[in-house]
Amino acid sequence: MTNLGSSTTDFRLDGKVAVVTGAGSGIGRAIALKFATYGASVRILEMNQRDAEATCQEIIAAGGNASFHIVDVTRQDEVKSRFQEMCSKERIHILVNNAGVSHIGTVESTTEADFERILRVNVKGYYNCIHASIGHMKASGGGVILNIASIAGSSGLSDRFAYSISKGAVIAMTYSVAKDYLSHNIRCNCISPARVHTPFVDNYLLSNYPGREKEMFDKLSHAQPIGRMGAPGEVATFALFLCSEDASFITGVDYPLDGGFVNLR
């Protein structure tokens, strides 16, 4: 993480409070660090306390403002309580819905328990956070909501039945919220990454292809026409732009961030 305040480019978030879910690792962590570097006070919602503390401490060590709240986004009572606590102290300007889980399987191999878990985290979790924060944003003069979706939500991917359904729902949710809250100065967009190199990818390869990790990593990398996976920091940079005032004319858009996957295969 660069020293805070060192950025001289646009897309500043000075004076903004940003809530980022699932910011203990991967894309969420990269977004939290990027937002803090560009001036935001970051509030981390995370289930893993160790990871939440690590992200928070890195921001604070660099001179930023951050705190974390341990919460299960699938539990509406917990989510409402945390947002009420935060909103009683400060205005929330930005919500980034990122916390999610993945799943591999077809409709035949996906169990009912797996299906319900994916929808509970990836769809209900996003709904719970928007539901808990949007009234505050309305009363405070507006805000920005950014949902992290996936190209799986709009493209046919093998063995991603439940995951694809959940991310398709996130894209639809984005359009609906953007439409309903235009008059309240609330923007809502989503980013749909292709494969991004996160700890999940490494753990997946280790668990499913022991001894063949490098071979399979190369294969997965070249699934993107550009020839590599994305980096969490690249998603974070795009998120920074979409949540900044420089993107104030943008709402109700799903942005593929995919190395050419959708249009160039």
Domain boundaries, the chain: 17-194+230-255
pLDDT for res 204: 84
CA distance 110 to 58: 38
Go through 221-242 and write b for each residue having 16 or more CB atoms within 10 A of its CB, e for each that does not: beebeeeebbebebbbbbbbeb
Does the pLDDT at position 6 exceed 70?
no
Q: First vs last Cα of the chain: how many Å apart?
A: 34
163 is an active site residue: yes
CA distance 160 to 191: 18
Average pLDDT over residues 253-263: 95
pLDDT for res 4: 60
pLDDT for res 257: 97
Phi, psi of 11 (to 5 degrees): 70, 35
One-letter amino acid of 40: A
More confident residue, 189 or 264: 189
Does the pLDDT at position 5 exceed 60?
no
More confident residue, 205 or 23: 23
* C-alpha of 131 from chain center: 16
Summarize pLDDT for 216-225 with one digit per residue, the tens.
999 999 999 9
- CATH class held by domain 17-194+230-255: alpha beta
Q: Which of 163, 175, 181, 255 is labelled catalytic?
A: 163
Summarize pLDDT for 24-63 with one digit per residue, the tens.
999 999 999 999 999 999 999 999 999 999 999 999 999 9
Summarize pLDDT for 161-197 with one digit per residue, the tens.
999 999 999 999 999 999 999 999 999 999 999 999 9
Does the pLDDT at position 238 exceed 80?
yes
* C-alpha of 42 from chain center: 14
Q: 74: closest CA among 146, 23, 132?
A: 132
Summarize pLDDT for 68-90 with one digit per residue, the tens.
999 999 999 999 999 999 999 99
Summarize pLDDT for 129-170 with one digit per residue, the tens.
999 999 999 999 999 999 999 999 999 899 999 999 999 999
Bridge partners for 187 per DSSP: 144
Phi, psi of 134 (to 5 degrees): -70, -30
- Sequential DSSP letters for the chain: -PPTT---SS---TT-EEEEETTTSHHHHHHHHHHHHTT-EEEEEES-HHHHHHHHHHHHHTT-EEEEEE--TT-HHHHHHHHHHHHTTS---EEEE-------B-TTT--HHHHHHHHIIIIIHHHHHHHHHHHHHHHHT-EEEEEE--GGGTS--TTBHHHHHHHHHHHHHHHHHHHHTGGGTEEEEEEEES-B--HHHHHHHHHHSTT-HHHHHHHHHTTSTTSS-B-HHHHHHHHHHHHSGGGTT--S-EEEESTTHHHH-
pLDDT for res 200: 84
Averaged confidence pLDDT in the chain:
95
Bridge partners for 145 per DSSP: 95, 188
* C-alpha of 80 from chain center: 19
pLDDT for res 7: 47
Phi, psi of 205 (to 5 degrees): -65, -40
